[in-house]
Every structure is written in structure tokens, then in C-alpha cells.
Chain A
Amino acid sequence: MIRALLRRLNAGPLPPPQATRRRDFWLSLVAVAVMAVGLRLLETGLSAYWVQMICLAGLNVVLAVSYNLINGVTGQFSLSPNAFMACGAYVTALLTLSPAEKSLSFILEPLVWPLSVISLPLPMALMIAGLVTALLGFVMGFPVFRVRDDYLAIVTLGFGEVIRVVANNAQSVTNGPLGLKGITHLTTVWWAWGLCLAAAFVVTRLIRSSYGLALKAIREDEVAAETMGIDIFWHKMLAFMVSAFFQGVAGGLLAHLITTISPNLFTFFLTFNLLIMIVVGGLGSTTGAVLAAVLVTFGGEWLRVVEEPLSLFGYEIPGIAGMRMVVFSLILVGFMIFMRRGLLGRNEFTWRWLTALAGRRSENK
């Protein structure tokens, strides 16, 4: 069935991208305008809970797209998004919180001097958080890219744990296990989906540039890429830092969405969620990452059904809390065994494809 569906979606040979560049630009602009109107309608029409979910979906899209850049496109199996998100969230929160709020939160040990008096507006704090996180990625990159494959996975995972342990212990900076409270709820759908646009734009432009070709070459065969004169280390570093930047900013927005952060929020669980998204979407496909991030966010809400009590043929089945994650992990394993390429493989959505498809449809009629 899926095969048949895919065959119908096959638009045949596409025109060269140069030929339709101007049209594609206008189409994209129209799409953005439509999206903005749609978001405006959703924001005013839906309850606060669903607006929150839409924001979360937007942040997940940012995270999945940037995670896909390093894992799917460059083929470096990093497990560190939770570290980057933690870094971004803490930096942003520490910069935006008012001094009064800070002195209220830090009861065990006072906050160190420069941070204790600073209070910046959100955009500036987010920018700084992104840069600090990219810097963290830069520092991590040196040991991380000395190793490959599963060693790289375990080292990045280790960094995630180290960051969490540091956040738990550096009392005078992070407030330790108590975390930071009273962060203003500043994240709106405009922030979340605006960042999505920025991330999608930067990442797709990067992938289509000569740097992107080099990244894909590294994914396919590192040795061959090196013999072609590609500087493997710095290309990996570039992808890692871009990915870290967006994950840091998304972490900062997440902090201003849920208003309370603590070290135990940033466990490996966050990375696992993102991993499901990029695997389901298809490792290496930005479109897939976007699609799967939205699917998984709302699918998770929908799956709450299995956790609620259910009456079936007169039997009362009690709700089982935590069943959602069981289903999610089964989905991940299932995808790996039966559909390793994910929903989209490495295919991307392009206007050329859509118009070609529409053209073929009308010819058939």
C-alpha cells in the first residue's frame, strides 16, 4: 500500500532548480504568509493549552531539524542535544531573570556577581545563549571528533551527563538541584515558529551549499571525502556548531515556555525524543524532520488515550501511566527493523516536485 502511495507521489524528472528559482522564491513567500495567517488564527482561536502545544511543536521542529543536520546529513551520531538545550536554557534564563527574582531563588548560595545584576531582554539573551552553546559545541568538538560511530555516540552522551552533573553541583551559578523558577512566560507561537523558519532556512541553505555537499560526502565515506581534499574535522565542527547554536536557542525558548528549569529536565530522555523524530522522518531529510517533529509532538498528546481508563466490551481497563513511552520505544525499534529509511528516506520537499506532480495530475485528467 505504501509502495503504491509512493509511486503516485513520484513526479518523474524535475526541471533544473535554476529554471524555477524566482517562482520558487515567491511560492515560499506565499507559504510563509499563509503559515503566519494560520498561526494567528490558531493563536486566537485555541485554548491556552493547545497554543502551548503548538509552541512546543515549533521548538521540536527546530530541535529535530538541527539535530538532523549533524546526525542525518553529516552522519555523526551525536547524542548531545540535551546538553546543548540545558546550556541554552540556563544561559537564557540567567540572563533574563530579574535581579530580585534571582536573589529570591538562590537561597543556598548567592549567584555569582555579574550574573546577579544582569537582566537582558529576551532576543539579546537568546542570541548570547546560542553563541555560548555554539562555543560549548566547539570545545566539545575537539575530543568528540577524534572518535567515530558508536564511540562518538557514547562520548557525546557522556558530555550530556557531565553537563547535568555540573548543573546539579555548581550551586552559585545554576542553583543546583533546585533549578531556576519564575522565568517569565515569553515564548509565543511567533517566537517558536519564527525560529523554525530561521533554522529551516539556514540548515537548508547550508545543505545546498558546497559545504553541504562536503557534509554528505563525509557521511557516505569519510576516507574518500578526505582524499578529495575535504577537511573532515572542520566540516564536522561546522555542522556541530550550527546544530548547537539552534539547540541552544531552542533550549532558551523552552525555558521561557515552561518557566521552570532544573537539571533533571535535561536528561537523555530529551535526546531520545529527538532521535525518534529524525528516525521516523528519515535520517538526512529536513522535510522528514519537520514532519516527524509535528507528528511526534501531537501524536504524543493523542497517545494519552492509552493512559486513560478505557471501557471495552463492558470490561474496565484501568489507565496505565507511562504506556506512551513504551509505545514510542516500540515505534523506534519497529522503524529500525522494518522501515530503516523512515517516512521520507532522504527525499526533500521542493516546489519543483509539487508543481511537477500537479502538472502530471492535470495531464492525466
Chain B
Amino acid sequence: MDALQQLINGLTLGSLYALIAIGYTMVYGILRLINFAHGDVLMVGCYLAWFASAQFGLPWWVSLAGSMALTAALGMLIDLGAYRPLRSAPRISALITAIGVSFFLENLGLVIFGGRPKAFARPEIFNELYHWGGLRVLSLSVWVPLITALILAVLLYVLYRTRLGMAMRALSRDLVTVRLMGIDTDRVVAATFAIGSALAAAGGIFWAMKYPQINPLMGIMPGLKAFVAAVLGGIGNVVGAMLGGLLLGLAEILLVAWMPELAGYRDALAFVLLIAFLIFRPQGLLGEKTT
């Protein structure tokens, strides 16, 4: 019984990691760039949703959709302003820029929103408590994996059944050749940033509902861990990101449940897993072996 309870908790947390990891893995697959600002884009998404629901009293699904749309625009803006000028620069320059953008968003958040955490209300539909046998399950924990699965299905449809998706997959193989084929690569990259950022916003908002408060630095840890999840699953692979997220979520919950004396080391687990994977299986769970 207890194991089942932990499994559900792990599944929920894992789904959140997965949603965030998809954005990382798509951008990395195409540009070979770790988008450090991804976690902070998530933070902005949360604040947008918070303003929409707490300040303007919009229903949760409107604020979710609105926040996802605006965050998508922010993602495209970051790509346009910071990453596009560096497309032909060494990869490390782009990485340093990404770190700069990440700090910019965090500190701008601190300036605009203030450092004090804000309470993030959980909509009623996600706030019901089910009692199944001995299990106590929050409806949020049921909805999050379902919504994640739905989003993944839509994303896979886009990737494998539409022209945009085909362009994205082609870009991840060889950006230069694809450009020679007459495809506007900048637009495809912008679309990738838009999709990734929107998913990060969704992941962030559900994260904020699960741990019901938000602050300008909230994106750092989920962002880093989601990147680790993307590496675990095999970077560049959307299904892999999903699997990696679930693996990481389960591992964290099980560590705390089975070895409570090590609970404080929970935040280090992701990096220990990362190092272990890079040593023993650098291509990740589903990645193809390169070089």
C-alpha cells in the first residue's frame, strides 16, 4: 500500500520533470545548446499565471493557457535577442549567454516581483482528496500524469505528422544542410523555443500548484533537475525526456521514502545519477550512440 502511494507521488513529480525536460531536450537536439534560462522561463510563466488568477480573478484554465502563450512568446524573444546573434559563434559563447539570460530573468524577477514567496492557490478541481482503500491521493496527482501524457501525445503528433515537426527532426540531424534545402531554420528554431517554453510554463504552473508558492528563484532547481532528466533519457529524444523525468521523480521519492535519514541529500541525487549515467551510459536511456 505504502509502495503504491509512493509510486503515485513519484509519478506526479516525474511528470513535472518530464514536462520541463521536453523543452531542454528539443532545444539541445537542434542547437546543441543547454538553455540555462529554461528554468527561469518557467518562473516567469508561474508569475504570469499568478497575476492572471490571483490579481485578475481569471479561471485557472484561462490563466494556464494565457501564461503558456505569453511564455512561448518570451521563449521566442530570448532566442531572437540573445541566442540568434550567436548561432555561428563557438558553443561555449552561447552557453555563457544562456547563463547570463538566466541570471537576468532571476534578478529582474527579484526586482519586479520581490523576493518574498507568493502563495499560489490550487484550483478546486485539483484540490480534492480521494481516499481509495488506504491511499490518500490529491486529485492534482491524478491529473498531472494524465495531462502530461496528453501533451506528449500532441507533441509526438506534431513532431511526426506535421511539416513543422519534420523540419524540427531534420534540423536536429543537420542544421546547415536543412538551410540549404530552403527551409527557414530561424523560424523552426523559434517554434521550438515557443513549444519548449510553453511546456515549461505548464510544468511550472502545476509545480506551483503542488508546492503552493512561487518565488523568483523557484526555477533553478526544477530547471537543473529537468536537464538531468533530459540527459538520463537521452538528450534530443522527446520520449527519452519523458522517461528520464519519470525515472528521476521516482528515484527522488523512493530515496526519501526508503532512506529517510538521507532525505536531506535529495537535491544531490539528480547530480549523482547524472554523473553515473555520463560514466556508464553517456547516451542516456534512449539516445543513439554518437562518436
Instruction: Please give the residue numbers on chain A whose beta carbons come within 8 Å of chain B beta carbons, in ascending order.
Output: 75, 77, 143, 146-147, 149-151, 153-155, 157-159, 161-162, 165-166, 168-169, 268, 272, 275, 279, 320-323, 325-326, 328-330, 332-333, 336-337, 340
Contacts and interface: CB of A to CB of B under 8 A. Distances in A.
Interface stretch (B117-125, B161-169, B269-277): B269-277
B96 A275 contact: yes
Contact of A337 (B82, B110, B115, B220): B82
Interface-central residue, A77, A155, A326, by most chain B CB under 10 Å: A326
Given A272-B103, A322-B110, A165 B224 contact: no
B146 interface: no
Interface stretch (B14-22, B61-69, B83-91, B170-178): B83-91
11 contacts: A75-B92, A146-B278, A150-B32, A153-B34, A161-B271, A162-B268, A166-B265, A325-B106, A326-B104, A336-B100, A337-B86
Interface residues of B, number: 43
A156 to B, nearest CB: 10
B3 interface: no
B267 A161 contact: yes
Interface string B102-119: 111011101100010000
Contacts of B1: none
B279 interface: yes
A26 B94 CA distance: 43
Interface in B119-177: none
A329 B104 contact: yes
Given A150-B32, A158-B271, A165 B279 contact: no
B253 interface: no
Contact of A162 (B85, B111, B264, B271): B271
SS of A interface (majority): helix
B99 interface: yes
Contacts, number: 111
Nearest to B261: A169
A309 to B, nearest CB: 15
Nearest to A279: B96
A161 B34 contact: no
B206 interface: no
Given A149-B91, A150-B34, A161-B271, A329 B100 contact: yes
Contacts of A165: 264-265, 267-268
Given A151-B278, A161-B271, A169 B104 contact: no
A336 B278 contact: no
A349 to B, nearest CB: 24
Interface-central residue, A150, A268, A275, by most chain B CB under 10 Å: A150
A272 B265 contact: no
Contacts of B224: 157-158, 161
Contacts of A77: 92, 95
B111 A150 contact: no
B287 to A, nearest CB: 12
Given A150-B91, A279-B96, A328-B103, A168 B264 contact: yes
A127 B285 CA distance: 44
Contacts of A322: 107, 110-111, 115
Contacts of A154: 34, 227-228, 231, 274
B104 A158 contact: no
Interface string B248-276: 00000000000000001101101110110
B99 A332 contact: yes
B11 interface: no
Contact of A155 (B86, B94, B95, B274): B274
Contacts of A336: 86, 89, 93-94, 96-97, 100
B248 to A, nearest CB: 13
